[in-house]
Amino acid sequence: MSYQWLTLWRYADTFLSAAWLTLQVTLIAFALAVALGLISALAKSSPLALVRWVSHCYVEFIRNTPVLLQIFIIFFGLPSLGITMSAFTAGVLALGINVGAYLSETFRAGIQSVPKGQLEAAWVLGIPRRQVFMSVVLPQAARAVWPAIINNLIQLLLGTSLLSAIALPELTGTATVINARTLLYIQTFSIVTVVYLLFSNVFSWLGNVAGRRMFHPALVTSKKRTIGWCPKKWLSNSVKGGNS
């Protein structure tokens, strides 16, 4: 058994660079997704019907087709229209566009959760519209949907595995290459699974910490993403909380 793990130890560097690439794609695509989501959420309350319609079509089309198909359309479809890009760019673009549509709905729910009276109060106080959005609406909206935003980030992380289909050497793609060389399927997939679990739990932990520090009043999430053998007091938390 142990010689198999020794064989895989030779690929430690490959695994590490794959993990780094996964992280890079996740973070860059998430930045794009946040921008797209915010624009699309704002566009939905635009006075122009055309702008609203475009945003609506974007969200509905993306949310009702598989992300793998969207990756293929961008990577294999666009070159036939004269737009070529690397697997990295295509992957970031596809995942950013995909998660942007989900975030758009999340942001909109957040914006709608801010009581309308506050907007009227801000208007009466003569605060400029831009400032009202940035310092009244946005902080409260972000607090209301913060757990959903973190969930979207984790979904994006898990979605990067599909970029192995366009030969990007991220974690899953690297695992299949190493499998082909060593035939150690179980061991390779176990390593990759552990890395994904690590990343997703770190993201959700950071999200919880940020939620407690960033917002006022502090946001305490009852939902813990911890692995089975965690202390009992953490578990009772989720039963008490009754997440909605």
Partner 1 sequence: MSELIISALPTLLQGLGITLLLSVAAIIGSTLLGLLAAVLRTSGLPVAKQIAVLYTELFRGTPVLITLMFIYFGIAYFGYEINLFAAGILGLSIYQGAYIAEVFRAGIEAVPKGQWEVSWILGLSKRQTFMNVVLPQTRGIVLPPLVGQYLSLIKDTSIVSMIGMSELMHQGQAIVDRIGQPVVIYGLVSLLYFAVCFPLSRWVQHHQTRSQLS
* Binding flag, residue 67, partner 1 (CB under 8 A): yes
**Encoded tokens for 204:** 């959700």
Burial grade of 160 (CB within 10 A; 0-12, 13-18, 19 or more): buried
Q: Is the dihedral of CA 173, 162, 73, 105 positive or negative?
A: negative
CA separation for the pair 134, 113 (Å, rounded): 15
* Binding flag, residue 192, partner 1 (CB under 8 A): yes
Q: Which stretch binds partner 1 (CB under 8 A): 33-41, 86-94, 118-126, 173-181?
A: 173-181
DSSP state of 65: S
* Binding flag, residue 46, partner 1 (CB under 8 A): no
Q: Which stretch binds partner 1 (CB under 8 A): 117-125, 135-143, 192-200, 206-214?
A: 192-200
* Binding flag, residue 196, partner 1 (CB under 8 A): yes
* Binding flag, residue 197, partner 1 (CB under 8 A): yes
Provide, rounded to whole angstroms, the least separation between the CB of residue 2 and partner 1: 17
First to last CA, the chain: 46
Distance of CA 119 to the CA centre of its chain: 30
* Binding flag, residue 76, partner 1 (CB under 8 A): yes
Number of residues that bind partner 1 (CB under 8 A): 47
The answer to whether residues 171 and 195 touch, using CB atoms and an 8 Å cutoff, is yes
CA separation for the pair 92, 24 (Å, rounded): 9
* Binding flag, residue 115, partner 1 (CB under 8 A): no
Interaction site with partner 1 (CB under 8 A): 60-61, 63-69, 72-73, 76-77, 80-81, 154, 158-162, 164-165, 172, 175-176, 179, 183, 185-186, 189, 192-193, 196-197, 200-201, 225-229, 235, 239, 242-244
